[in-house]
Amino acid sequence: MVISGIIFEKLMSMFLIILFGYFLAKTDVLDNNGSQQLVKMLNKYIIPITIIMAFQQEFNQQQFINLGWALFGAVLLHLIRIPLAHLMVWRGNKIDRHSIIFSNSGFLGIPITLAILGYEGVFYLSLFIVVSSILRWTYGVHTLSEGRERITLKSAFINPASIGLYIGLALYLLNIQLPTILSSSMDSIVGLNSPLGMIILGGYLARGSLRAIFNSKQAYWTTFMRLIFTPLVGLLVIWLLPIEAPYVLLVLAITNCTPTAVNTALFSQLYGGDYEYGARLVILTTMMSLITMPVILLLSNAVLHIY
């Protein structure tokens, strides 16, 4: 109950920052180019730095085994969403399917996990982010571009999140601790993750039509799929896995019910989709997650006995 309260409080705080981003965009302080620059900053530097900092701990064999379970759970949750998205969105388009499959494990999952579990939680979350990044740059790009974009191994495995994992994992396995001044500076950069992500969302909201956000029946169906149906199926999958580590279970439970990934809007713009509809899905699912995430996590605790 306490953790659900923390999550709701964190989501409310994020929503207020979204309103601040909305204000910045409406007053022409933040334009579309500025939003894209912030997205690139987060994806290329801040999220990888967050992953590196999560691995700044002493090597522990059991923790490393738990990391493997986190990887297995992340892969399984993503692979199950793909057929569900295609089966359940028969009248939808590629953006609806992308929105159901890819969740906001970075911009939203990181600050919530940090608030509840600290860096050890992000340690396990990093595998979910990397799996999501690999699939987004392969299956996601292929889907949104309708096969027109060439997919390479480099784009799949040499992306910012993966590089952050490689560096962090190497430091972890070699028991290398960063100098205090560098570690402190990187901690400060990590703190930018949540507010910048929410300001970006506020900018998307300001440039879209509020009426259009709430008037699309298809958007509500996609939101239901992203926030309720696939999390319930995902919860069943997590329950079936032989995972006993509470931190791994909680991280999988959080990422299982986060709203649509912010990159849905950006990728829609890059690969020929309806950018405004993608942005509306991001906003709608983020707003609705204020209600659904605490409820799904309460149910997750009842089923998994996490905390």
Sign of the CA dihedral 232, 19, 279, 118? Answer: negative
Query: Dihedrals φ, ψ of 56, to 5°?
Result: -80, 70
Ranges 70-79, 161-170, 266-275, most confident: 70-79
Over residues 106-113, the mean pLDDT reads 82
Supply the DSSP string of 202-250, one letter for each residue. HHHHHHS-HHHHHH-HHHHHHHHIIIIIHHHHHHHHHHHS----HHHHH
**Contact assessment for residue 224 and residue 4, using Cβ atoms and an 8 Å cutoff:** no
As a whole number of angstroms, the longest Cα–Cα distance in the chain is 54
- Distance (Å, whole) CA 185 – CA 190: 9
Of the given ranges (65-69, 92-96, 197-201, 206-210), which has the lowest mean pLDDT?
206-210
Q: Where are the alpha helices (DSSP H) in 27-174?
A: 32-41, 47-54, 61-88, 94-101, 109-117, 119-135, 141-144, 153-157, 160-173
Residue 154: which pLDDT band, with cuts at 50, 70 and 90?
Answer: confident
Over residues 257-286, the mean pLDDT reads 79
Over residues 288-307, the mean pLDDT reads 88
In the prediction, which pLDDT does 91 show? 62
**Contact assessment for residue 187 and residue 47, using Cβ atoms and an 8 Å cutoff:** no
**pLDDT per residue over 214-262, tens digit each?**
888 888 999 999 999 999 999 999 999 999 899 999 999 999 999 998 7
Judged against a pLDDT cut of 60, whether residue 306 lies above it is answered with: yes
In the prediction, which pLDDT does 279 show? 80
| Contact residues for 271 (Cβ-Cβ < 8 A; gap 6+) | 141, 144, 145, 148, 149
Residue 272: which pLDDT band, with cuts at 50, 70 and 90?
Answer: low
- Distance (Å, whole) CA 242 – CA 246: 12
Say what percent of the chain tops pLDDT 90: 39
- Distance (Å, whole) CA 43 – CA 235: 28
**pLDDT per residue over 198-210, tens digit each?**
888 788 778 777 6
Per CATH, the number for 2-299 is: 1.20.1530
Domain residue extents for the chain: 2-299
Judged against a pLDDT cut of 90, whether residue 67 lies above it is answered with: yes
In the prediction, which pLDDT does 4 show? 65
* DSSP-derived 3-state class of residue 103: strand
Q: Which residue has the higher pLDDT, 241 or 148?
A: 241
